[in-house]
Amino acid sequence: ERGILAQVGPPPPHPPAGPARRDGPDSTAELELEVLRDTRNRTIRALCGQRSMPHSVWELPPGQRRTVLQHLLVSDKYRFLYCYVPKVACSNWKRVLKVLHGALESVDVKGKMDHKSDLVFLSDMTPEEISYRLKHYYKFIFVRNPIERLLSAYRNKFGEIKEYQLKYGVEIIRRYRKNGGNSAGDDVSFSEFLQYLLDEDVERMNEHWMPIYNLCQPCAVSYDFIGSYEQLHTDASHVLEHIHSPSSVRFPERQAWYKPVTAQTLHYYLCSTPRRLIKELLPKYILDFSLFAYPLPNITSEFCRQ
């Protein structure tokens, strides 16, 4: 049976000899991408090959199984499963799915995304239907640097979304700030947010900051491809080509209102946060760092002096 590491194929081949070899920025970038994918391959194979790890969704505890099945979107028309991860371009992937199935005219249609309607979730199906699709459909996910994903969720949910400010922000401030009872939840600090994550049970976390491992269970589901936010359009084009998407359907550009996490922004937040908090939080996200080959955040004094 095909292993999890089939998602990016066999180890990268040696560059062809002689005049056929391409040099320059493009070939260098492609080689680096091959090495990254191979690293993810090997790491996932090593971890998921252990006996103690789940090897199918049916081996997962009911709560964990429910989570992953609720995050696997189904296309019977194109025979694929996509595990959506909030804050990893999942809204745009949902736009693509809706266009592929005729529920949306174009990926460029403006308006608030409805994250439920016109989408089919694997959790809506019977055990037999689930097993068939897991065995026979092309399966993919997209991942992102864990710290950047957390920062993106923090800035978006507590800086822009009143529902999150009232539901989570008020509670966070009440819990961690003296005399914070009158807060509207819109002034949560990044440090308070990280302390909240540190104290929260991973299985009970909101999907926007739950670790990708827990959302998509890459040991229990043999993904055929793991794309990354950092290579979003290259990897998205690979997926669209693989599923034989119509040439008229492309992956959309970033929304104009979106505020990206830049290197400068990440530097500011990392270096303005107590080092202890970041160090203590890392174990909760360590599988996302290690499985998907992301470096641990640099919080050294030298880095922060720059």
Tens digits of pLDDT across the chain (306 residues): 333 333 333 333 333 333 333 444 467 888 888 888 888 888 888 888 888 888 999 999 999 999 999 999 999 999 999 999 999 999 999 999 999 999 888 888 776 666 788 899 999 999 999 999 999 999 999 999 999 999 999 999 999 899 999 999 999 999 999 876 778 888 999 999 999 999 999 999 999 999 999 999 999 999 999 999 999 999 999 999 999 999 999 998 876 666 788 999 999 999 999 999 999 999 999 999 999 999 999 989 888 988
Question: Is residue 24 assigned to a domain?
Answer: no
Question: Is residue 3 assigned to a domain?
Answer: no
DSSP 130: H
Provide the number of structural domains found in the chain. Answer: 1
Predicted pLDDT at 66? 97
Tell me which residue range forms the domain holding 182.
Answer: 35-305
Which residues are paired to 180 by β-bridges? none
Question: Is residue 8 assigned to a domain?
Answer: no
Q: What's the Cα-to-Cα distance from 24 to each of 12, 88, 230, rounded to whole Å?
A: 18, 30, 20
Query: For the packed helices 146-160 and 263-271, what is the interaxial angle rounded to 10 degrees?
Result: 80
Question: Is residue 195 assigned to a domain?
Answer: yes
Predicted pLDDT at 259? 75
Question: What ranges make up the beta strands (E) of 108-209?
Answer: 138-143
For the record, the structure tokens of 204 come out as 């009970």
Q: Are 107 and 159 in contact (CB under 8 A)?
A: no
Cα radius of gyration (the chain): 20
3-state DSSP call for residue 106?
coil
CA nearest neighbour of 2 among 43, 41, 59: 41
Q: Where are the alpha helices (DSSP H) in 61-119?
A: 62-71, 90-100
User: b/e map of 68-92 (b: 16 or more CB within 10 Å)?
Assistant: bbebbbbbeebebbbbbbbbbbbbb
State the Cα–Cα distance between residues 139 and 222, nearest whole angstrom.
Answer: 7
Predicted pLDDT at 8? 35
For the whole model, what pTM was predicted?
Answer: 0.86
Question: Is residue 171 assigned to a domain?
Answer: yes
Predicted pLDDT at 111? 66
Question: Is residue 245 assigned to a domain?
Answer: yes
State the Cα–Cα distance between residues 281 and 150, nearest whole angstrom.
Answer: 11
Question: Is residue 162 assigned to a domain?
Answer: yes
CA nearest neighbour of 144 among 94, 90, 88: 88
Predicted pLDDT at 117? 82
Provide the residue type at 245 as one letter: S
Question: Is residue 5 assigned to a domain?
Answer: no
